[in-house]
Amino acid sequence: GTIRFAGVPIVQKTIPTTIDQYVCGKEKAAEDLLVSADKGIRNVVVSIENSPALGLSAPVPPVVLDQKECTFVPHVVVVPINSPVLFLNTDRLLHNLHSISTLNARFNRAQPKGRTIQMAFKIPEKIRIECDLHTWMRAWVVVAEHSFYTVTNDRGAFVLENVPPGSYTLRVWHESLGTVTKDVTVAPQVGTDVSIEMSPVKP
């Protein structure tokens, strides 16, 4: 499927960097809303609300979240409950990892270049990760209770694989645009294609 922006075309915002410009550069793209030329929205989390199987599949490799040129890469990751997230720092300067969550324990840890910090989360939740030293840096760790989660690519496209035939509710979440749901039916051996629009949140 594809997640598209329903508003008027947007101008990509940039954020001026204030420190460590020898690594960070002079400005960064604001990642809170990235829309392609054909209005596809990047970094949207798509999941099945009424999952056919709450149990997770076989163990998955650790999810990696790096800090490169004062940006978290990728901006949004999905990790199964109790599975490891490897936080990296490949910049030649000090960062820190500051989590903002409600259900999982919070942490705030310094991370010099080359140090790997491994964390796991027990409760499904969307966790914001920030760097207090570089205040424009932000990422999201989405802790998933089942296998049917994914994140849209740079054109707003996504694929949920191996979904059994049946009727489901798709839950679509974006950090700036909120949550949208849509009922879908997956046909045997065919699947389904879906296009969902998200609108700017009204003040």
Give tens-digit pLDDT for 152-174: 999 999 999 988 899 999 999 99
Q: Which two tokens stand for residue 167?
A: 């009727």
Give tens-digit pLDDT for 77-113: 999 999 999 999 999 999 999 999 999 999 999 999 9
DSSP-based helix, strand, coil % in the chain, nearest 5: 0, 45, 55
Report CA-CA distances (Å) from 27 to 35, 134, 191, 202.
Answer: 19, 12, 42, 28
Quick one: DSSP state of residue 40? Answer: B
* CB count in 10 Å sphere of residue 154: 12
- Is the whole-model pTM more than 0.85? yes
Give tens-digit pLDDT for 24-47: 999 999 999 999 999 999 999 999
